């Protein structure tokens, strides 16, 4: 009977998530919204099919473990060290501030001080699943913004582990004295350090050797199984042996595997179920929602949302600015932390078990979680608009913020000025195409500046004597520092650059006569880029078609003139098809 419940839960959850995820995507919303709606539909508080909430929660836990393992694969300790000055104090101060505000607000609404403190702790913790999903959807997980946000959450998770250890000691029936409380805190710290040491020392020695032996078998299935077994076993072992969260253990396991040569293969081959099970996390959250909770305590739900959506982001925004990071980085970090998730429910569950939280606290938390998770991707997507609004409404303050931004906040070497007295090119992005362009420009005596969001790439380029700017090309200050006003050519070298049209518009304002060349993945995007002011658009689809045509004609014995003629005809035909499709659209 239990196997039938499992199959029905998986089938109902995945099917509903697919339907509602597709519908919300078509409406221009994040699929996360659809997954939450799917959970409400298959949950016990709506009519029709009801999935098993306990099974869904257990399956969702697997998704959290696999997701954190994947984040660990891509997170390097040196990146955390690079952001430790902002992530460590920022996470601790923001968590304490949100907890204190929550305690005061909910005590004012009639709760006891212990209930207010525990609920404040619950709403102070952001969701790792939501944060990594939002950053991934915006291609910013591997940028400085992503490094700060993920490092921030690592510290939050560690802070939460301490809280979970201390709650029974402080509020339980066998509450301890000050000395015993300090001893419990020290024991928790020892366990976390022991887990980290064991994972990195023993795991760093054993895991690469194990994966090497598995890889030597040539079996893809065994390799996939081995990585999944590593992720799950270390996660479970972390909880059973060291009394810390499974998510934290999975994250550390991912970091160990990520330091080996198997990191890329593990990320691409061994985690095919990660996204599917992560979807079940959102479905399981939606299943907890009872609409009657909104009607029973609307004021308390609004108070929780105000802290989550306004107070927490403002606190993070101010703390990041205090560390002299750029305005857009502070906005991004603040916005992406404006939600709550899995650890919030764990804290609330312990609060209920200890008899601290009132009965309706769980429903208030679920309602606040669903609303904040729904709004978070939308708010994050509007960060550019918020920045422009700040520039228009508070120009003096934004100028002061930018003037305070430390030029060496990321530790880059001193940047030489652009050379205005010679032909100068600006290349945005340093992928394979960008690397080739930079090499060719330098070999031909052409001055070049690279704009890149990977700080390690920027440092490497500067060590090689290449002028490189660390920053977002959509930001006016970045373009100005790159020397766009005096440049002759701008090349958008990768098709994944976000806000390409906005970049071109700002470049045209700075330098109307500049030659702009852009690369795009799909032919359908060419028209929009041309309309934005790009002089030459190179579509990957078109160039591959032309390369295949030329190769075939050359092997059939065509003359160079025939090849050139056919290339021109194919090029003209493809763009004519795109123009016709655009008119129809």
pLDDT at 136: 77
How far is Cα 427 from Cα 483, in angstroms, rounded to an integer?
A: 11
Residue 496 backbone phi and psi in degrees, to 5: -95, 10
Helix or strand run (H / E) with residue 447 = strand 447-452
pLDDT at 243: 74
Tens digit of pLDDT per residue, the chain (585 long)?
Answer: 566 877 888 888 889 999 998 998 788 777 777 888 898 899 888 888 888 877 777 777 887 788 778 777 766 666 667 777 888 888 889 989 999 999 999 999 989 898 999 999 999 988 877 888 788 777 777 677 888 888 888 788 777 767 776 777 666 555 555 666 677 667 777 877 888 888 888 888 888 888 888 877 877 788 888 888 888 888 888 888 887 778 778 878 888 887 776 765 676 665 667 777 778 877 887 887 777 767 777 889 899 999 999 999 999 999 988 888 888 888 999 999 998 877 787 788 778 778 888 878 878 888 888 888 888 888 898 888 888 888 888 888 888 877 776 544 444 444 444 544 457 899 998 888 889 889 988 888 888 999 887 767 887 888 888 888 877 787 776 787 788 888 889 998 887 676 778 788 888 888 888 999 988 877 776 777 777 788 888 777 677 777 777 788 788 777 877 777 777 776 666 555 454 444 444
How far is Cα 234 from Cα 415, in angstroms, rounded to an integer?
A: 44
pLDDT at 119: 92
Burial class (CB in 10 A: 0-12, 13-18, 19+), 218: exposed
Cβ pair 334, 146 in contact under 8 A:
no
Strand partners, 468: 450
How far is Cα 333 from Cα 135, in angstroms, rounded to an integer?
A: 10
Q: Cβ of 434: how many Cβ atoms within 10 Å?
A: 22
pLDDT at 405: 66
Burial class (CB in 10 A: 0-12, 13-18, 19+), 201: exposed
Cβ pair 517, 538 in contact under 8 A:
yes
DSSP letters, 120-147, are HHHHTSPPHHHHHHHHHHTT-TTSHHHH
Strand partners, 451: 428, 469
Residue 425 backbone phi and psi in degrees, to 5: -120, 145
How far is Cα 147 from Cα 84, in angstroms, rounded to an integer?
A: 10
How far is Cα 80 from Cα 86, in angstroms, rounded to an integer?
A: 10
pTM: 0.59
3-state secondary structure of 481: helix
Interacting residues of 539 by C-beta distance below 8 A, sequence separation 6+:
519, 520, 521, 522, 523, 525, 526
First-to-last CA distance in the chain? 51
Going by C-alpha positions, the residue among 382, 378, 347, 379 that lies closest to residue 361 is 347
Domains, the chain, ordered by start: 2-392 (1.20.1530.20), 424-584 (3.40.50.720)
Q: 459-477 as b/e, with b when 16 or more CB fall inside 10 Å?
A: bebbeeebbbbbbbbbbee
Going by C-alpha positions, the residue among 154, 184, 118 that lies closest to residue 346 is 118
Cβ pair 412, 458 in contact under 8 A:
yes
Please give the angle made by the CA atoms of 404, 482 and 518, to the nearest 5 degrees: 130
Going by C-alpha positions, the residue among 526, 518, 570, 530 that lies closest to residue 548 is 570
Interacting residues of 167 by C-beta distance below 8 A, sequence separation 6+:
118, 347, 350, 351, 354
DSSP letters, 255-283, are HHHHTSTTHHHHHHHS-TTHHHHHHHHHH
């Amino acid at each position: 009977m239990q196997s039938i419940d499992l199959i029905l839960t998986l089938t109902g959850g995945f099917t509903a998530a697919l339907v509602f995820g597709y519908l919300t995507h078509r409406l221009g919303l994040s699929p996360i919204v659809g997954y939450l709606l799917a959970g409400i539909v298959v949950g016990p508080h709506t009519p029709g099919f009801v999935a098993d909430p306990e099974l869904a929660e257990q399956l969702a836990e697997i998704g959290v473990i696999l997701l954190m393992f994947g984040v660990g694969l891509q997170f390097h300790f040196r990146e955390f060290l690079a952001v430790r000055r902002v992530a460590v104090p920022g996470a601790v101060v923001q968590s304490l501030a949100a907890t204190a505000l929550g305690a005061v607000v909910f005590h004012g609404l009639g709760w006891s001080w212990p209930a207010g403190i525990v609920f404040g702790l619950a709403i102070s913790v952001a969701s790792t699943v939501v944060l990594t999903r939002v950053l991934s959807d915006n291609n910013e997980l591997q940028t400085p913004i992503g490094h700060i946000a993920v490092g921030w959450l690592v510290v939050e998770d560690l802070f939460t582990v301490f809280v979970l250890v201390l709650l029974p000691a402080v509020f339980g029936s066998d509450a301890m004295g000050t000395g015993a409380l300090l001893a419990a805190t020290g024991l928790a710290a020892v366990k976390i350090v022991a887990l980290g040491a064991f994972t990195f020392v023993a795991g760093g020695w054993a895991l690469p050797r194990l994966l090497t032996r598995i890889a030597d078998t040539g079996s893809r299935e065994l390799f996939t199984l081995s990585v999944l077994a590593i992720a799950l076993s270390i996660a479970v072992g972390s909880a059973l042996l060291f009394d810390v969260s499974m998510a934290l253990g999975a994250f550390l396991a991912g970091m160990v595997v990520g330091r080996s040569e198997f990191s890329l293969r593990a990320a691409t081959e061994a985690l095919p179920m990660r996204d599917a099970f992560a979807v079940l996390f959102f479905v399981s959250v939606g299943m907890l929602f009872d609409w009657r909770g909104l009607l029973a305590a609307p004021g308390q739900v609004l108070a929780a949302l105000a802290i989550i959506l306004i107070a927490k982001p403002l606190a993070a925004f101010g703390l990041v600015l205090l560390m002299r990071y750029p305005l857009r980085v502070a906005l991004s970090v603040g916005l992406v932390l404006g939600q709550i998730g899995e650890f919030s429910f764990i804290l609330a569950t312990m609060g209920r078990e200890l008899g601290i939280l009132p009965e309706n606290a769980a429903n208030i938390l679920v309602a606040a979680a669903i609303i904040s998770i729904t709004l978070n991707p939308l708010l994050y997507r509007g960060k550019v608009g918020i920045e422009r609004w700040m520039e228009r409404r508070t120009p003096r303050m934004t100028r002061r913020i930018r003037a305070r931004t430390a030029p060496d906040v990321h530790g880059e070497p001193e940047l030489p000025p652009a050379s205005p007295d010679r032909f100068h090119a600006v290349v945005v992005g340093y992928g394979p195409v960008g690397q080739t362009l930079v090499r060719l420009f330098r070999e031909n005596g052409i001055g070049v500046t690279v704009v890149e969001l990977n700080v390690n790439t920027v440092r490497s380029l500067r060590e090689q004597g290449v002028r490189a700017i660390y920053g977002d090309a959509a930001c006016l200050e970045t373009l100005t520092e790159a020397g766009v006003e005096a440049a002759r050519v701008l090349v958008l070298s990768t098709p994944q650059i976000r806000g390409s049209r906005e970049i071109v518009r700002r470049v045209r304002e700075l330098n109307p006569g500049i030659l702009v060349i852009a690369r795009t993945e799909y032919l359908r995007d060419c028209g929009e880029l041309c309309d934005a002011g790009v002089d030459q658009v190179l579509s990957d689809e078109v160039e591959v078609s032309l390369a295949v045509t030329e190769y075939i004609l050359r092997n059939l014995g065509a003359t160079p003139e025939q090849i050139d003629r056919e290339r021109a005809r194919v090029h003209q035909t493809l763009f004519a098809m795109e123009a016709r499709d655009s008119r129809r659209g």
